Chain A
Amino acid sequence: MESIRKKAKELLDSKQVQVIIGYENGTSNKVRAAFITDPTQVDRLIYDERCTQNLAVYLVKHEVKHLGKMGIVATIPVMRTINMLISEEQVKPENVVVLGIGEDGKLLDFPDLTVMESFLQKAKIEITAKDKEAMEKLKKMTTQEKFDYWSNALETCFKCYACRSSCPLCYCTRCAVECNQPQWIPVQANKNGNYEWHMLRAMHLAGRCVSCGDCGRACPLDIPVHLLTMHMAEESKRLFGVDSGFSMKMESVLSNYKLDDKDNFIQ
């Protein structure tokens, strides 16, 4: 924690960045995102196991970008997201300084982003045991069981789009659900509308999702929507050998065609 504060102060003092995006204590024993622009305020920054929000979502937020060059406290999923955002030209590498956090919770020194890239190549990447268990359970289901499970789980969805808003890779200003000529996805939060929305979201994140799980965490109704995108991440690795967010030059799995692409995904 001290090392994060020290580094943040250094970056702000030397004007290498204008804002540090990190975590601070919130209300009711929660933690939340902090935007530190004043070096005397760095003591607000904290880091512990509660800090799971994917802060990269703020790298693409207009009012945060407006503050200037950004330093960001980044755990492994956040680092992977940063790589994705750079690959997709949403973030300029020169506008971001990463205060990396390793698996042990210690600050990592990244003089530049290529060091972060090489760190990620060697890092241990795993989803939580709870998510792993849930994924295994789903995999064992028959197609009908899976369909029933999701129809049931998604029926309560009221389309607050917290899953979309919390996801740093859902950065479109006009989402496909808001394109209405034609209206691809029903706006109303009914059975079909919900099902189609979540399938669309999963497909748009296929090969891009870094499995941070923030969409599921954000859902106020506790629908495990992150399992859908995590599954797509597993599938793109299985079918195309691509694990997202390990380099700043990722090719998008679903929008690049290669002659040796397998076509056994049609099941």
Chain B
Amino acid sequence: MEVEKITEEAPEVKTFRLKFKNPEDAEKFEFKAGQFGEYSVMGEGESTFCIASAPTRKGYIECTFRKAGRVTGALANLEEGETIGFRGPYGNVFPIDEWKGKNLLYIAGGIALPPMRCVIWNTLDLRENYKDITIIYGARSVEDLVYKNELKEWEERPDVKLVTTVDPGGQTPDWKGEIGFVPTVLEKVAPSSKDTIAIVCGPPIMIKYTFPVLEKLGFTDETIYTTLENRMKCGFGKCGRCNVGKYFVCKDGPVFTLKQLKELPDEY
């Protein structure tokens, strides 16, 4: 695929807009919100991340990554017009059809907004199917917030309630959002759990403290969704890395409900 456009989101975080080089591939390619792919730089290897653009936006896909290891390091060095390898889509999907007629509460932390951005745009593009949409997004600092333009767009939309927050100490003098950790802010915002689906993505520590708050707000385990991210190589249930008990994150996930998560052994 060709890197059509590169956006600098935050320090070390970039978004690539990718276009298939072969129009036939573009034609054939279909995916749904929640799925992921294997992105590669030839000679360096492959790296796994979600497709961050919505399936309702045709003609391209986007991915957002932080420069961390060998492959993401090599990806970060690429320029617009260069080529990367892509395999996918793999994994299961967010059941957005089942969510029709409900309120949606998105809770994301840090670099975990990208896996959620796909489903956020997907549901926003099908806005009439859902009732209230609330997004709570936190990052370590103002600088670390990704998709700054889109956050502005969501803030301005009357049909979306957006709450952004940064960790204490991460604010700038003109910061107008909340200050505090995501679970605390969630408790403060206290959205109703009635007819609501909560989707949570973030670092393990954030997730750990967010679930009890949601439970306190009356969310049941079946109405809380999250995504797991385990180390992967193949993406289709063979290489033996990503399994949590008998479940493969690459096949049975990455999307799990809290109910499913509670049935998994503690190995993620």
Residues in chain A within 8 A of chain B (CB atoms): 180-181, 183
Bitwise interface map of B from 51 to 93 toward A, beta carbon under 8 Å scored 1, else 0: 0000000000000000001100100000000000000000000
Q: Provide the residues of chain B in CB contact with A183, threshold 8 Å.
A: 70
The 3 closest A-B pairs by CB, nearest first: A180-B70, A181-B70, A181-B73
Q: How far, in whole Å, are A181 and B44 apart by their CA atoms in the complex?
A: 10
Interface size of B by Cβ–Cβ distance < 8 Å?
Answer: 3
Give, as a whole number of angstroms, the nearest-CB distance from B44 to chain A. 9
When distances are taken between beta carbons in the complex, the residues of chain B under 8 Å from A181 are: 69-70, 73
Give the distance in Å from the alpha carbon of A183 to the alpha carbon of B73 in the complex.
13
- CA–CA, A234 to B223, complex, Å? 67
A185 to chain B, nearest CB (A): 14
For A180, list chain B residues within 8 Å (CB): 69-70
A89 to B73, CA, bound (A): 33
Shortest Cβ distance from A183 into B: residue: B70
Alpha-carbon distance A216/B159, docked complex (angstroms)? 69
Chain B: CB-nearest residue to A179: B70
CB of A207 to closest CB in B, whole Å: 31
Could you tell me the distance between the alpha carbons of A181 and B74 in the complex, rounded to whole angstroms? 10
Complex Cα distance, B190 from A212, in Å, reads 64
Complex: chain B residue closest to A180, CB-CB: B70
B48 to chain A, nearest CB (A): 16
Q: How far is the CB of A6 from chain B (nearest CB, A)?
A: 42
Give min CB distance, A175 to chain B, whole Å. Answer: 16
| Across-interface contacts of B69 in A (CB, < 8 A) | 180-181
Q: Which residue of A lies closest to B74 (CB)?
A: A181
Q: Which single residue of chain A is at the shortest CB-CB distance from B43?
A: A183
Name the residue of chain A whose CB is nearest to the CB of B73: A181
6 contacts between A and B (CB under 8 A): A180-B69, A180-B70, A181-B69, A181-B70, A181-B73, A183-B70
**Contact residues in A for B70 (Cβ distance below 8 Å):** 180-181, 183
How far is A111 from B69 in the complex, measured between Cα atoms in Å? Answer: 49
In the complex, the chain A residue whose C-beta lies closest to that of B45 is: A180
Query: B73: which A residues are within 8 A, CB to CB?
Result: 181
CA distance A181 to B69 in the complex (A): 8
- A83–B69 Cα gap in the complex (Å)? 36
Quick one: CB contact mask for B27-55 with A, threshold 8 Å, 1 for yes?
00000000000000000000000000000
**Distance in Å from the Cβ of A183 to the closest Cβ of chain B?**
7
Q: How many whole Å from B223's CB to the nearest CB in chain A?
A: 39
Query: What separation, in Å, do the CA atoms of A183 and B74 have in the docked complex?
Result: 13
Which chain B residue has the least Cβ–Cβ distance from A182? Answer: B70
State in angstroms the CA–CA spacing of A180 and B73 once bound together: 11
Task: Quote the shortest CB–CB distance from A42 to chain B (angstroms).
Answer: 35
Closest to A181 in B: B70
Query: B20 to nearest A CB, angstroms?
Result: 29
Chain A: CB-nearest residue to B71: A180
Q: What is the 8 Å Cβ interface bit string for chain B, positions 176-195, against chain A (1 contact, 0 not)? A: 00000000000000000000
A255 vs chain B, min Cβ distance (A)? 27
A236 to B203, CA, bound (A): 49
Q: Complex formed: what's the CA distance from A259 to B240 in Å?
A: 52
Q: How far is the CA of A181 from the CA of B73 in the complex (A)?
A: 9
